[in-house]
Amino acid sequence: MLGALALLVCSQNANASLDCQGKFPNLVTDICWSCAFPMIFGGGAISVSVSTGQEDTPNVGGSPVCVCGLNFGVKFSFWEPVRHVDVVRKPFCLSAMGGVELDPGFNAPHGAQTKKDHTGTSSFYQAHWYIDPVMVLIGAVLDSPCLEQNVFDLVYMTEFDPLWNDDELTAILNPDSFLFGNLVSKLACGVDCVASTIGFGRNELFWCAGCQGPMYPLNGNVSAHIGGVQASSLIVSRLIAKMHREGLMWAASGDAGLCGYYPQMLMDKTNYKYQMHFPVAQNKIDGKCCQPLGRSTILWGAGKEIPGAGEDFAYMIFRKRSCCQGTF
């Protein structure tokens, strides 16, 4: 009888630990608006920079004037908050929607952490991809062609993706992953970890996700789980890379982005920064409340995982945007 009661209590605790967690982000206090900077008006010849000491990548140079079709304009570069990502343990749990739980009528794999013969821990998470152009939603800039024109939408759920929990099937998307399973490739990821911690990651090391681990496979299986913040950050990098690989996310920076978006099958890691807003809205460290993909979570991730109440995560994604801001 005692054994049966103990099993019942354990199963109830396990189910309780997988309750759907989340909250709607407060657009004033939970979004790292300083991450949209620096904003650069004009090219290399004449430029006006509005900055708050945030990290940036090289901007479009040359003449400050640009031409798109029959329209003339001025070159403008900034970091636009355009996407939201949920990383959750319970399938169909929408953390960014306040912890709403969907019921599509079928089961999907649950998130889990698994011990590997005392050599470490692996984990699995589901993830959700939202279009969320918050600058348009709050009317920060009206009638600007430089802003994402889509409306808020939940457009991708890994629960419906048979590749998300199967490493072999995932190889359909990233067959190149077989080239980077050797020791030399793994050691090279240490260089990417250092680069992303002091600045932005290295695109030539595209199989690395900085300090979070390997970029491949592009699914929810984390082979080396150090903590929820590290594992969920790795899932964020993989999901962005997966969206690019499937043609569902396009690039928007550089000379090619001045007149519109363009497909980019291999993600440019330097085009993205991200910030946590759930379970704990990210606070500023050294004046910054967001970071490039792959940056070590040792500093900014401290105290961001709360046992029982904050083991699901939601992140705001900022994408580098270069465009031709029309003057007439």
The more confidently predicted of residues 9 and 150 is 150
The more confidently predicted of residues 125 and 180 is 125
What residues have CB less than 8 Å from 114, skipping those under 6 apart? 121, 122, 123
Give the pLDDT confidence score for residue 7 in this predicted structure.
Answer: 39
Look-up of token digits 């004046």: 287
- Distance between CA 325 and CA 259 in Å, rounded? 9
Is pLDDT at 74 greater than 80 in this prediction? Answer: yes
Q: What percentage of the chain has pLDDT greater than the value 70?
A: 91
Residue closest to 310 by CA, chosen among 20, 9, 115: 20
The more confidently predicted of residues 268 and 48 is 268
Reported as a pLDDT band with limits 50, 70 and 90, residue 120 is: confident
Reported as a pLDDT band with limits 50, 70 and 90, residue 270 is: very high
Reported as a pLDDT band with limits 50, 70 and 90, residue 30 is: very high
Q: What is the arithmetic mean of pLDDT over 214-235?
A: 95
Reported as a pLDDT band with limits 50, 70 and 90, residue 14 is: very low
Is pLDDT at 4 greater than 50 in this prediction? Answer: no
* 13 burial via Cβ count (<10 Å: 0-12, 13-18, 19+): exposed
Q: Which residues pair with 214 in a beta bridge?
A: 208
What is the per-residue pLDDT across 89-112, written as a single tens digit (0 to 9) for each? 999 999 999 999 999 988 999 999
Q: Which residues pair with 276 in a beta bridge?
A: 315
Give the pLDDT confidence score for residue 1 in this predicted structure.
Answer: 47
Is pLDDT at 135 greater than 90 in this prediction? Answer: no
Give the pLDDT confidence score for residue 2 in this predicted structure.
Answer: 45
Give the pLDDT confidence score for residue 261 in this predicted structure.
Answer: 94
Phi-psi region of 99 (alpha: psi -120 to 50; beta: other; left: phi over 0): left
Give the pLDDT confidence score for residue 325 in this predicted structure.
Answer: 86
Give the highest mean pLDDT range of 67-71, 149-153, 163-167, 168-172: 163-167
Q: What percentage of the chain has pLDDT greater than the value 90?
A: 62
Give the pLDDT confidence score for residue 115 in this predicted structure.
Answer: 86
Give the pLDDT confidence score for residue 327 in this predicted structure.
Answer: 56
CB–CB of 324/87 below 8 Å? no
Q: Which helix or strand (DSSP H or E) is residue 236 part of?
A: helix 228-245
- Distance between CA 68 and CA 183 in Å, rounded? 47
Residue closest to 312 by CA, chosen among 21, 113, 112, 99: 21
Give the pLDDT confidence score for residue 140 in this predicted structure.
Answer: 61
**Mean of per-residue pLDDT scores for the chain:** 88
Give the pLDDT confidence score for residue 46 in this predicted structure.
Answer: 67
Query: Which has the minimum average pLDDT: 107-121, 231-245, 263-277, 305-319?
Result: 107-121
